[in-house]
Amino acid sequence: MELKYVWIKKYKNLENIDFNFQHPSDDFFEYNDGFLNIKENKLQSKKDFFGRNIKGLTTIVGKNGSGKTNLSEFLTYNLAHVGRGLSTFMKGEGIIVLKDKIFVQEDINIENTATLNKEGYDIIKYKNAPLDKSSGVDWHLMEKNKFIYYCPINSYRLGYSGRGLDNMINISSSYLIRYDVYDTLKSVLNNETYSWQKKDSTDSLRAHFRNEKLRESDLILNYEPIKELIKVPKLIRISVDHHTENNLLNGRHSRREDKKTLQIGNHYQELSQMNVGFEYYSLERLKLDVETRTGYEKYDIKADDRKNAFKWNFLIQFFKGLLFFGNKTFPDGFLFNFIFDHEYDLEDKALLSDLEKLKAQIKELVDLNKWEDVKAEIIEQSLSPDNERELQIYSLYSNFEIDIEQKHAKELLINLISTVKKFLNNQLNFHYEFFHQLSAGEQNLLNFYSRFYYAKNQVLEIEKDYPKNEAERIVIFIDEGEVGYHPEWQRLYFNQVINYLSELFENREIQLILTTHSPFVLSDIPKENVIFLDKDTEGNALKKNFEMEKTFGANIYTLLSDSFFMKNGTIGEFAKEKIERVINKLDNVEVRLSDEDLIEINYVIDTLGEPLIKMQLESMREQRLNLSEVSLMRKRIEDLENQINSQNDKNQNQ
């Protein structure tokens, strides 16, 4: 269901303003004096011009503060609220046209509804948001439109951001920084419900960092074409979560006291004691009797000890998760015997077989790594604040790296991730991430690719649960996605976007809505696909005609020189002020140039990089200096004449 049109009565700096979006049909709308009129769209672009499955492209260009982000926000707020009663959070009166449905806020009147009905449009009134459940439209049909919103900037816009909606995947930085902590088990699950108390939550920024690395890793591990788009790191680090950073591992939180729940609680306690037991045993026998820093003890951790400890710890933390999600109990002694390779048996043979396969996967993956001895200084127990000593010990054996250029190692890791997620309700007891140093632009580009790959998988997850709602069309909003890129990357940006998204969502129709203030992006877009925004003296948004006849393929410097982008041309403000200062000095022939003035004038002219301006200033300097020499000669003549006249007067008086 393509987005065709929106009229906004009032939303932030958007007031009584409308927008037509490029789409396959020819309808062009205009709302005026209570009438919503349909006109022939004479500015339609060529079909499939941007790719086989990109069915509509609209680019919104404007200066800072002109309303680009406000428009994106209005659209995402009002198009992605299906079925859960969340539309009461929304405000913003207007009209939105989706395919053959016209959604009208209940306080807005349309006089020509009969005419619109004859044209094949349904008029649907809403209270808070167009996709309010009370409107009575076919919700399965509406949910076939999936919306994705991406913005790389953390703008600290903390309004309602779309969490928990059926048809919106929000991958903006502002959203993820705030909500990543809730999209994994970083909050304590209390009696099967979330506890939002701050003391029970992991730090949001740390959770965002870990989840961002998981998204990057999932992309690189599972999407082969990424190798053609960006330099891919070869080493990936696997680390078992510590219970302080993943509350899935903290123990079962339940008020029930039935026999099964108590038995599960005993299993948690047994697993926690295993952790403490082998850590204490390993450290005590590996302590070195050598002089070290005050308050620290030195240990020599052997490679085999580190390898075994990782396997044991992985299984211990895995079983904690399994107890929570699987709600399973095991015979006394089974967990200890299974983890530490003693004799064991289990009545549920299918479960036992799956657990043994998992154990074999871990062992094979761990054995691929080249483990080394490690000498480490660890703080004494009596001086350790909080969990510092525990975390220092944990870091010695809780992680290792594998080379994913080795095909077998990569396949083992992918299979391990899949196996654990099946056991733990799509959650993990470990993390995996690439360690690499990237420039800001490279990191932005990787985040762009990885977040959209994550969004695609989110769409697939939604469709798995609700197969009737399979997305026919993906409406993608990208808000200033080129921010942070080198100018050359900005020049390449649009081409990368359409190629990547077309490939990623190859079986879906895409409607793409971009906002930008970059002329690099604009030079790739035909003028028919562009909405130009400016603002009036009071800061309200207004649409503006772009002075250039065409934008597609236009020279970037020509676009920059247009007053829409640069009010005072393409020269930096500091340089502009210095040049104007020189011009004023050279123009003002009434004031004598000092030696300091000449030094400044010569420096500015000699360092100028723009040849035409430099040539003009050189001409002005030459003319001014010549005039100065003539003036000096005239002054000298005048002085001599005055002296002669004075002397003649004296002679006459004598």
For 477: left if phi > 0, alpha if psi spans -120 to 50, otherwise beta; the answer is beta
Residue written as token pair 């428009």: 71
Averaged pLDDT, 631-647: 70
* Alpha helix (H) residue ranges in 121-181: 139-142, 173-179
CB contact set of 509 (below 8 Å; sequence gap of 6+):
53, 55, 472, 473, 474
pLDDT computed for residue 631 by the predictor: 58
- Class of residue 65 by CB neighbours under 10 A (exposed 0-12, middle 13-18, buried 19+): middle
Q: Around Cβ 540, how many Cβ atoms within 10 Å?
A: 17
Identify the three-state secondary structure at position 431.
Answer: strand
Span 53-63, pLDDT tens digits: 898 999 998 87
Identify whether the C-beta of residue 482 lies closer than 8 Å to the C-beta of residue 520.
yes
What is the band of 361 on the pLDDT scale with cuts at 50, 70, 90? very high
Does residue 632 surpass a pLDDT of 90? Answer: no
What is the pLDDT at residue 505?
92
Q: What is the pLDDT of residue 198?
A: 40
Q: Are 558 and 548 in contact (CB under 8 A)?
A: yes
Contacts of 392 (CB under 8 A, 6+ apart): 376, 378, 379
What CA dihedral angle connects 62, 157, 475 and 169, to 10 degrees? 160
The yes-or-no verdict on residue 42 having pLDDT over 60 is yes
Least confident of 74-83, 186-195, 411-420, 518-527: 186-195
Q: What is the pLDDT of residue 128?
A: 77
pLDDT tens-digit series, residues 298-343: 888 888 888 988 999 999 999 988 887 767 789 989 999 999 999 9
In the block, tokens 């079925």 appear at: 83
Question: Band of the pLDDT at 133, cuts 50, 70, 90?
Answer: low
Beta strands in 13-144 (DSSP E): 14-20, 27-32, 35-40, 54-62, 93-98, 101-105, 122-126
The residue assigned the tokens 């350790």 is 384
**Segment among 87-91, 190-194, 497-501 with least mean pLDDT:** 190-194
Give the model's confidence band at 190: pLDDT under 50 very low, under 70 low, under 90 confident, else very high. Answer: very low
Q: Helix/strand/coil (H, E, C) string of 526-546?
A: CHHHEEEEEECCCCCEEECCC
pLDDT band at 630 (very low <50, low <70, confident <90, very high): low
What integer pLDDT is reported at residue 111 of this predicted model? 94
In angstroms, the Cα distances linking 35 to 93, 104, 115, 124 are 16, 12, 10, 15
280-284, 384-388, 474-478: segment of lowest average pLDDT: 280-284
- Taking 50 as the threshold, does the pLDDT of residue 194 lie above it? no
Which pLDDT tens digit goes with each residue over 230-276?
888 888 999 998 877 776 676 655 545 566 677 777 888 888 778 66
The band of 449, judged by pLDDT with boundaries at 50, 70 and 90, is very high
User: Of 195 and 258, which is predicted with more confidence?
Assistant: 258
CB 73 within 8 A of CB 150: no
Q: What is the pTM of this model?
A: 0.82
Residue 463 pLDDT more than 90? Answer: no
pLDDT at 83 (0 to 100): 53
Residue 199 confidence (pLDDT): 41
Query: By mean pLDDT, which of 119-133, 587-601, 630-644 is the weakest?
Result: 630-644
**Residue 367 CB-density burial (10 A; 0-12 exposed, 13-18 middle, 19+ buried):** exposed
- The amino acid occupying position 146 is K
HEC letters along 139-169: HHHHCCEEEEEECCCCCCCCCCCCCCCCCEE
Between vectors from CA 565 to CA 561 and to CA 570, what angle results, nearest 5°?
Answer: 40
Percentage of the chain lying above the pLDDT 90 cut: 28
Asked if residues 356 and 337 have their Cβ atoms less than 8 Å apart, the reply is no
Distance CA 601, CA 582 (A): 6
Side-chain half-sphere CA neighbours of 42 within 13 A:
1
Average pLDDT over residues 473-494: 88
Task: Say if strands 93-98 and 374-379 run parallel, antiparallel, or are unpaired.
Answer: unpaired
Write down the number of H helices and E strands in the chain: 18, 22
pLDDT in tens, 535-572: 888 889 998 876 666 778 777 767 766 645 666 666 77
- pLDDT number for residue 195: 36
Q: What is the mean pLDDT of residues 64-74?
A: 85
Q: Which of 62-66, 196-200, 226-230 has the lowest mean pLDDT?
A: 196-200
Q: DSSP class of residue 619?
A: H
Band of pLDDT at residue 360, cut at 50, 70 and 90: very high
* Residues 4, 531 contacting (CB under 8 angstroms): no
- Residue in the block written with tokens 């503006």: 544
Structural tokens at position 209: 């960092």
- Residue 196: which pLDDT band, with cuts at 50, 70 and 90? very low
**DSSP bridge partners of 124:** 103
357 C-beta neighbours (distance < 10 Å), count: 12
The residue to which tokens 């070195």 are assigned: 288
50-59, 115-124, 348-357, 464-473: least confident range: 464-473
- Check residue 267 and give its pLDDT: 85
Q: What letter represents residue 628's amino acid?
A: S
**Phi, psi torsion values for 38, nearest 5 degrees:** -110, 125
Which percentage of the chain shows pLDDT scores above 70? Answer: 78
d(Cα 368, Cα 363) in Å, to the nearest integer? 9
User: Which backbone phi and psi does 467 adopt, to 5 degrees?
Assistant: -60, -25
Give the span between the Cα atoms of 215 and 447, in whole angstroms: 8
pLDDT of residue 565: 60
Arithmetic mean of pLDDT over the chain: 81
For residue 201, give the DSSP letter: B
Angstrom distance (rounded) from CA 91 to CA 68? 18
pLDDT digits (tens, 9 = 90+) for 400-435: 999 998 999 999 999 999 999 999 888 888 989 987
Instruction: Report pLDDT for 188.
Output: 40
Q: Is the pLDDT assigned to residue 22 strictly greater than 70?
A: yes
Band of pLDDT at residue 486, cut at 50, 70 and 90: confident
pLDDT band per the 50, 70, 90 thresholds, residue 295? confident
> What pLDDT score was predicted for residue 87?
52
Q: Which helix (H) or strand (E) holds 493?
A: helix 487-504
When pLDDT is cut at 50, 70 and 90, the band that residue 191 belongs to is very low
Segment 89-113 mean pLDDT: 86
Average pLDDT over residues 219-224: 93
3-state secondary structure (DSSP) of residue 403 = strand
Per domain, the residue ranges of the chain are: 3-219+437-561, 236-432, 573-653
